[in-house]
Each structure stands twice: as C-alpha cells, then as structure tokens.
Chains A and B, each alone.
Chain A
Amino acid sequence: MKFTEEHEWLRVEDDLVVVGITEHAAEQLGDLVFVELPEEGRVVVKDEEVVVIESVKAASDIMAPVDGEIVETNDALIDNPSLVNEDATGNGWFFKMKLEDLSVMDDMMDEDAYLKFIS
C-alpha cells in the first residue's frame, strides 16, 4: 500500500488502483455523515477535487492522488458513510482508478514512511 501527504492510501488490485483515506485521517475527521462520490468514467488529474466528505465537524475534499480515470465508486458509502470510520483501508474505500502507468506510485510513501510522516 502507498500513501500520500493528503492522508490517502492507494492499493493496486487487478491493474486498478483503489483509493481511500487513512485510519489516521478518519480519526482526525471524526464520524463521517456524508460522502459525495464522482461519476464513474470521469477522467481526473492529480489534485483535482473528486470526493466531498462531511464529518460531524466539517466538510473536506478528497483529491485525486494521481492522473487517471475513475472506473468504479464505493456506492455503499452513500447510505453508510461510517464505513470509512469503521474500516478505512477496507470497506471504506472511495473509488478505483485506471492509470496509464502504475509507476507513478513508485515515489509515494510506503507504510513506514507514512507512519513517520504523521508521528
């Protein structure tokens, strides 16, 4: 799994990249009450706002961590945003992306580096 400084995680599954937010981020945000997901098929560029989340405290934007196409979204979050708090790196994923070149992830933080980053 790879990590960004925006507290997103990326995991390669069947040539696609699954994206979510880290447990640390979910804990800091507090209980999520609303998630607005992008349309499937949308082509996005790195740092474009793709997901809106609202916690009990405030609204935040989730950015695309890399360039690519959104091919699938986790619609279960619409009715049950708390999945993100319960299982941030599992059932709480946000979307899957198709990338032209997976090697763009090579420079991202691994788990050790991310844990150092947040400590």
Chain B
Amino acid sequence: MTELRKTALHGKHVELGARMVPFAGYEMPVQYPMGVMKEHLHCRAAAGLFDVSHMGQVTLRPRSGDVADAARALERLVPVDVLGLKEGRQRYAMFTDDGGGILDDLMVANRGDHLLLVVNAGCKEADIAHLRAHLTDDCEIEELTDRALIALQGPAAEDALAGLVPQVRAMRFMDVITADTLFGPLWISRSGYTGEDGFEVSVPNAGAVGLTESLLAMDGVEPIGLGARDSLRLEAGLCLYGSDIDRTTTPIEAGLGWAIQKVRRTDGDRAGGFPGADTILEQMQTGAPRTRVGLSPDGRAPMRAGTPLFRDEDQADPIGTITSGAFGPSIERPMSMGYVTPDLAEPGTTLFAEVRGKRLPLKVVDLPFRSATFKR
C-alpha cells in the first residue's frame, strides 16, 4: 500500500482537531470538532474554509505563445467553448471519451498567457497522461505541485477575503485574478462547489498555512471538512465525479448539456471535434436513454448511492439507481440524485427506492434542492 499524501495544510488540520481520513490518495479532513451538520450550516450562514489542495492544478502553456492555440488544442478533448473564454474568466468543462462518457469534470481558466485547469484528485494522474498524449505538440503541460488550493465559501466569504485582497469585491462569478500578497501570488477565482458565493484561492505551498490562519482569523470563517463539502454540493445539485458522473454517463444523460456551448453543438462554427462527439451531439438532439434527476424521499430516511429505483412497489426490474444521497442540513430533509428513464424524469413523478428490503416512495424533483447564491 502506498503511503497517503499530505497537503501543505495537513499539520494545520491536525492542530484544528480534524478527523483525518484517506481520500483519493491523500489524508484529508472529513470533519472538524464542530461536526458535519454544523459545519454545513455554518458555511451557508457565514463562511467555510476548505482545503482542496488534493485537486490537480495543471497549466497548459501554448508553445506558440498564443493562448488561443492552447484553447484550440484543449477543445480536442472537451466539448466546451475554450477559444471563446476571455482572459480572466473560468468555465466548467469535462473530458469525454470516445463513447461519450465522462473521464473527469474540471474548471478551465484563461490566465492570459496560459490556461489553468483544476481537475479531480482521483483522476488527476489519468487526466495529465491524457493531456500529454494528445496536446504535447501544442502545449507544455505542467502539474503544479508547489501550490495549495483553498476554497472559501459562503455569504461571509467576500468580506473575509477582501480583508486581505480588497480587489476581490469587484469580481463576479467565474472571474479569475492574480493578486500579490505576503503569502505569495494568489490565483483567485470567484467560484466553488457548494452553491454559495465564494472563492477558490491557489496559493504557493509556502504561504498556505499563513493564508489559512489569516482567513480563519476573519469574522465568521470556520474550517469545513469533506463531509460537509459533500452535503453542500448535493444540496446545490452538483455532480460528484465517480458517483454521479463517470465513463458510463454522457454529459447529456448527466444534464450537463448547458456546459456545451452553441459553437460546439451541431451546426456550430466549431461543432464536434471532441471524443464521443457523435454520441453526445446525437443525444442532444434526440434524447438520452436515461437522465439525471433530483429525488426527494417522502420519509426521513436518507437514500444513498447504489439504491435501486423502481416504477412501483411490485416491479421486478429497476428503472434506475441513486448515485448520491444524504441528509440535507439546510433543507432539513433527505435528498438524492440518480438516473431514471426519460419517461419517469418529470418532476412530481413518484418512484420507489428499495431500502433495507422495503420499497419506499420518493419523488422526482427539480435540481438544485437549494438555489445557488452566486454573485453573477
């Protein structure tokens, strides 16, 4: 067994009393003494600080010197409009495979002379190999192991970060800036994965503890672990790679068609040209065999990933599966996401989930469970 990796903030987590668990090859804080439920609610009420340094930060530097060439190259691997992404802006994307499945989901930022990708921890080695295999002629590909990544999320996030970097107040959702601070050059995006307004801050490892301590000293900022991160993203209706999306799900089945801009769709100026384009663009026009939906159990019992879904109480064959499920501390009821056949995807449809041998009713509902509060 290989030893678990540690982020630059590992010692700080231990000092803060975190319970550390293995996650994607890293030893990460699942919760702090506050506990998952209170951490979740705190993030929605004030601000939460998350160590997301296990995620991969990868730069694509165009060999030509023109970032448009890196953008064009990356478009060979993702179905999104990278060329149209302006300097200082970020966008959600996914790597697709030849069958139209999702290899990973990621953020792409245009940082002027290069693109910065933030990819999932569990996929980063494969992602980098994938990038190297396909983009080496056009880009220099580098994983930044000398930087930590901190997410600051919640209604108090702006005030807290502005105490150190005043210019963040002017940022809108998905803006990206660089700020020189005593913690080193910070790469800040106004984004996150909780459904809250907030920021993700890339900081040199040497400045990570200092930045974290300064932020935790601000009003309303508490450290939040992976446990609450999961319930926060699920309330926000956001997909977790490896649970809600993977190589067996297409972006269309996953309801991520919004991330495929018009220019990459059928009849767009740069239509297709990414792995699995035939499948994905056809599903976009004629529909997918299944679709991701929000699910609201009638009772209080959480219905978790892997739970089979049925049309009625007696049907033998499942019509789908739950891919994420938990109790939503802010909505004060259980919530799940899963895949169902299109005829059962209409909000209001009653389905049954088999929990501990019993068929329990749940309803298809619109996502998200809780509306996002982004500063657009």
Q: Residues of A at under 8 Å CB distance from B?
A: 30-31, 33-34, 36, 52, 54, 56-59, 78, 82, 85
Using a Cβ cutoff of 8 Å, how many contacts connect chains A and B? 40
Residues of B within 8 A of A36 (CB): 301
B301: nearest chain-A partner, CB-CB: A34
Is B294 an interface position by the 8 A CB rule? no
B40: nearest chain-A partner, CB-CB: A56
Q: Are B231 and A54 within 8 A (Cβ)?
A: no
Q: Are B304 and A59 within 8 A (Cβ)?
A: yes
Is B184 an interface position by the 8 A CB rule? no
Interchain Cβ contacts under 8 Å between A and B, 21 examples:
A30-B31, A30-B35, A30-B36, A30-B37, A30-B227, A31-B35, A31-B36, A33-B300, A34-B300, A34-B302, A34-B327, A34-B334, A54-B302, A56-B227, A56-B326, A56-B327, A57-B227, A58-B304, A59-B302, A59-B304, A78-B300
A78: nearest chain-B partner, CB-CB: B300
Q: Are A82 and B37 within 8 A (Cβ)?
A: yes
Residues of A within 8 A of B300 (CB): 33-34, 78
CA distance A59 to B37 in the complex (A): 16
CA distance A52 to B355 in the complex (A): 11
Q: Is the interface of B mostly helix, strand, loop or mixed?
A: mixed
CA distance A78 to B302 in the complex (A): 13
Q: Are B356 and A56 within 8 A (Cβ)?
A: no
Q: Is the interface of A mostly helix, strand, loop or mixed?
A: mixed
- How close is A117's CB to chain B, nearest CB, in angstroms? 21
Q: Are A57 and B304 within 8 A (Cβ)?
A: no
- How close is A29's CB to chain B, nearest CB, in angstroms? 11
For the complex of A and B, the 3 pairs showing the least CB-CB separation, nearest first, are A33-B327, A31-B37, A56-B36
CA distance A5 to B22 in the complex (A): 26
A28: nearest chain-B partner, CB-CB: B19
CA distance A33 to B35 in the complex (A): 13
- How close is B329's CB to chain A, nearest CB, in angstroms? 8
Residues of A within 8 A of B38 (CB): 31
Sample of 18 further A-B pairs with CB below 8 A, known A31-B36, A33-B300: A30-B35, A30-B37, A30-B227, A31-B35, A31-B37, A31-B38, A34-B300, A34-B301, A34-B334, A52-B356, A56-B36, A56-B231, A56-B327, A57-B227, A58-B304, A59-B302, A59-B304, A59-B356
- How close is A88's CB to chain B, nearest CB, in angstroms? 14
- How close is A77's CB to chain B, nearest CB, in angstroms? 11
Flag B270-302 by CB within 8 Å of A: 1 or 0 each.
Answer: 000000000000000000000000000000111
A31: nearest chain-B partner, CB-CB: B37
Flag B108-143 by CB within 8 Å of A: 1 or 0 each.
Answer: 000000000000000000000000000000000000
- How close is B356's CB to chain A, nearest CB, in angstroms? 7
Q: Are B334 and A56 within 8 A (Cβ)?
A: no
A49: nearest chain-B partner, CB-CB: B356
Flag B33-44 by CB within 8 Å of A: 1 or 0 each.
Answer: 001111000000
Q: Are B302 and A33 within 8 A (Cβ)?
A: yes
Residues of B within 8 A of A58 (CB): 304
CA distance A52 to B35 in the complex (A): 21
Residues of B within 8 A of A56 (CB): 36-37, 227, 231, 326-327
Residues of A within 8 A of B36 (CB): 30-31, 56-57
CA distance A85 to B36 in the complex (A): 12
Residues of B within 8 A of A33 (CB): 37, 300, 302, 327, 334
Residues of A within 8 A of B231 (CB): 56
Residues of B within 8 A of A57 (CB): 36, 227
- How close is B153's CB to chain A, nearest CB, in angstroms? 18
Residues of A within 8 A of B356 (CB): 52, 59
Residues of B within 8 A of A30 (CB): 31, 35-37, 227
A54: nearest chain-B partner, CB-CB: B302
- How close is B129's CB to chain A, nearest CB, in angstroms? 33
Flag B80-93 by CB within 8 Å of A: 1 or 0 each.
Answer: 00000000000000
